Chains A and B, each alone.
Chain A
């Protein structure tokens, strides 16, 4: 399996993913210096500068979450069926290795690459705010949960890739992500404020379909501590049930569900790849 992991990593490096990594590194570096640039251009207190850095950090963490997930989708969606269709696996599949070794080798290779990228980006963000005298250790605390973004999306894309071509596998994964994002960002407030049961059920369903909102809360729990007091607080009105629906508390079982979801997606994809004809 080690050979497949190494091969997947080499493939990832040559697919201009490395260039993408560098571009995002530069973007994060630039982002972290925006508050200082504003301060120097327009003036402002040290407290305003600190808040600016915090916002840049929160935004930077969102960028890392987004791009590490996109990277994992791109690499996983074309990892199986697309490679079979192009003939890359024609000489590898008859080798004495189980299909699960190939599947997990691909998965592990992409996950290692994505994790290395996300860690590198986090390190860049941390260093660039630290050199401005504003180290934010919270982003390291959030990193284990941030790393679950590429794992979640990559695992789903790989499962689709076990029977679909690269573009359709990407499309399905992105569609699942879009449904989860749309439900959490837009439907949730509408469902909460207007108390629409159907919308609340759709939001609930979206969390089961793809636990992105659950994962978002887990990350927020680690990084939102740097937000200024009263920012991101719940509105001071509304019923308790509405507020709970609008901003659910993080439960211990949340991380368990995310883990179970990832393992289930991995096993389903593996089962499909194991049982399918490959030609």
Chain B
């Protein structure tokens, strides 16, 4: 059973008066393995927010199905197992941190004793124990984000959907979120992370899906998606055609930058030594070589630009 599964999910927004219908999600098929940290990526307007809104039951799909831990998205059984941190929120700031968490615990149907214990735990986890009696209106933006994270996990859900959880945070705050994500992962929870901060996603996620124009264009384990390609920056005394030809025998892609520099893309890390050997054997004067592992940002840009062509 998948933590999240969508089958041919489609959402078309039809304006009430005039205007063209907008297809936000278009036959989206997504499978999120349980117990993973799943990165959900896509350019602005790709349909990420709409997909999340369908998953949490706020938006009804036009066609297709979505399931949360085997329950239809939006059903009470699905909501009981789900924690959600919205991207745009305004909490009831006249409540104290503790009152706010108690309210959400009661909304999640938690009993009194369990709830009190859990409030202590999550406040400690997000680093707000000392501010438990402070009103939310007195919190900084980062602290509000952290109390938002606390409400998302107050009822110990099996699946936590975090919509841009680090957008308002400083580096320390981001580290705190990473720690919470790690804590959830260690406890076997599934975390569904929507973020534009690709470096954060790369550090936290096991599996990613990139969506564009409402469809999944790439999905898989992060290690598998990134390991097979490395980009190598090479500095030669002079770039010569025969050297480029020799490099092309080993590399998947060779791109001269200027008269002295070339970048090459190799399929695996072992090919880097082979590439150096080929340059030397072709008579090239190798002055420098630096390998970069392909980042998620590279993959994201290639994937999205490839789709738009």
Contacts and interface: CB of A to CB of B under 8 A. Distances in A.
B76 A91 contact: no
Nearest to B152: A91
A86 B90 contact: yes
A196 interface: no
Contacts of B90: 86-88, 90
A47 interface: no
Contacts of A92: 107
| Interface size bracket, B side | 20 to 34
B108 A91 contact: no
Contacts of B59: 277-279
- Looking at B90, B91, B94, the one whose CB has the most chain A CB atoms below 10 A away is B90
A133 interface: no
A258 B90 CA distance: 37
Contacts of B148: 91
Interface in A50-103: 86-88, 90-98
Contact of B58 (A11, A97, A277): A277
Contacts of A141: none
B108 A279 contact: no
Contacts of B282: none
B151 interface: yes
Interface stretch (B48-56, B176-184, B206-214, B217-225): B48-56
Contact of A3 (B56, B57, B107): B107
Interface stretch (B2-10, B81-89, B189-197, B243-251): B81-89
The main secondary structure of chain A at its interface with chain B is loop
Interface string B124-158: 00000000000000000000000010011000000
Interface residues of A, number: 21
Interface in B234-293: none
B300 interface: no
Interface in A88-139: 88, 90-98
A93 B58 contact: yes
Given A87-B86, A88-B90, A91-B148, A98 B58 contact: no
A272 interface: no
B80 interface: yes
A90 B86 contact: yes
Interface of B: 13, 49-50, 53, 56-60, 76, 79-80, 82, 84-86, 88-92, 94-95, 103-104, 106-109, 148, 151-152
Interface of A: 3, 7, 10-11, 14, 86-88, 90-98, 275, 277-279
